[in-house]
Amino acid sequence: MAIDTDILLQPDTLRLIDALTESDSSTDIVQTVSALRREGHPTERIHQALEQVRLRRRARAKFGPYAQQMLFSETGLEQASRLAVAAHHAGRFRSAGITSVADLGCGLGADSMAFAALGLRVFAVDSDRDTAALASYNLAMFDTVTVSHGDAHHSDLSEAEGLWLDPSRREGATRLSDPEEWSPSLTDAFALARSHPSGVKLAPGMDRELIPADLEAQWVSHGGDVVEVVLWSNTLARPDIRRSALVLGDTHSAELSAAEDAPDAELGPLGAYIYEPDGAVIRARLIGELARMVGGTMVAPDIAYISSDQEHHSVFAAGFAVNTILPLKTKELSTWVRQADIGVLEIKKRGVDIDPARLREQLAPKGSQSATLIITRYQGKKVAIVASRLRDTTS
């Protein structure tokens, strides 16, 4: 439902949100609404409050316990930086000696929270009135943050040493595919980035042809998900680095970087181990760099699987011990599942048009053992590599 900040930010609505529990928005909604009406709450206040309870529950994945003190919109939550990722952004500004940041397109304020938590002065701006109001509420605890409703083009940047830009890629419920329709447009964002040390946050799958050669592009994954690519400029861009993959987890942070896209490693035979690069490594086109790190070769042209006879445990790739290779034929795979007593079957695939869920249904694993099937191309054929996932020792 649409967020109405005129109602949402009323003291009575805020008190109602704090009084509600998760069960109030997930069990018998009709019964809950009826009970709140009997208490004298207007219908719109009830709806706004219940929506916040629902969004706070979803937001815990990004904000942890802080979600219970914040207000959200559906779109704002979807686009907000995860708190751990925002902390990385803030650390980069602080490491560069920047003490004040203009957060242009601040959304719900996730990055501004991280900037302020590290002691930076923050000027947060958003072009959407309701979003700016939600950011003001979320950032009210920081006396070093000012929030305003305005346009990036007309913002006073005289006191900002650095810029953080997160161009809006939506207009209402419509996703804008043309970068020149974003707010600010990609052209304007790059112009601003060249005027100040800046970070420009974009979707990780953006067209690489649009990335200027003078900016550092850093793809970031968190918890296994590739969440963004950030283009860094001026003193925030590191010398001789134009491509990097940052892998963040609960207990680790590691980066693979290079001056340019890394050429793929040579093709080679399937060895004792197969590695699936983290999505950030794939997006940054540093697969060849990773292959050289693990002493590996590519399994097939243009497919992001690396094979090696060496066992490696790396945050940059999931590793699997290769057991055998089977033809990609349902009958033979079914026989293997039955004879190997497989009950838990992980199916991964690259370079082959197949639905893993459908294949698992056809194979009907019911046994007591577990295994991984890696469906891919090898030596010009479609194959199923039977493998065992290496235990994660990187943490």
- Strand-pairing partners, residue 369, are 342
- Quote the pLDDT of residue 173: 59
As a whole number of angstroms, the longest Cα–Cα distance in the chain is 72
Q: How far apart are CA 284 and CA 124, in angstroms?
A: 30
Q: How far apart are CA 115 and CA 91, in angstroms?
A: 8
Burial degree of 38 (CB within 10 A; 0-12, 13-18, 19+): exposed
For the segment 49-58, what is each residue's pLDDT rounded down to a tens digit? 999 999 999 9
Residues in Cβ contact with 278 at an 8 Å cutoff, skipping those fewer than 6 apart? 221, 224, 226, 245, 247, 315, 316, 317, 318
Closest by CA position to 115, among listed 144, 148, 141: 144
* Helical (H) or strand (E) element with 124: strand 121-126
Cα–Cα distances in angstroms (integers) from residue 390 to residues 33, 276, 335, 350, 358, in the given order: 50, 12, 25, 19, 25
Peptide bond into 184 cis (omega under 30): yes
Main-chain phi, psi angles of 289, to 5 degrees: -65, -40
For the segment 192-207, what is each residue's pLDDT rounded down to a tens digit? 999 999 999 999 999 9
Question: Sign (positive/negative) of CA torsion 103, 106, 109, 110?
Answer: negative
Q: How far apart are CA 47 and CA 311, in angstroms?
A: 55
Is residue 124 within 8 Å of 147, Cβ to Cβ?
yes
| Strand 216-222 relative to strand 243-248, pairing | parallel
| Strand 145-149 relative to strand 121-126, pairing | parallel
Structure tokens at 113: 């929270």
Q: How far apart are CA 44 and CA 243, in angstroms?
A: 49
194 SS3 class: helix
Q: How far apart are CA 395 and CA 7, in angstroms?
A: 46
Helices 43-63 & 29-38 angle (0-180, nearest 10): 130
Counting as low any pLDDT under 50, the low residues of the chain are 395
Is residue 169 within 8 Å of 182, Cβ to Cβ?
yes
- Quote the pLDDT of residue 395: 47
Closest by CA position to 274, among listed 393, 394, 395, 384: 384
Cα–Cα distances in angstroms (integers) from residue 124 to residues 100, 103, 135, 155, in the given order: 11, 5, 8, 10
Q: How far apart are CA 382 and CA 268, in angstroms?
A: 16
pTM exceeding the 0.85 threshold for the entire prediction: yes
Is residue 245 within 8 Å of 283, Cβ to Cβ?
yes
Closest by CA position to 161, among listed 113, 198, 116, 124: 198
Structure tokens at 369: 């053992």
- Quote the pLDDT of residue 32: 87
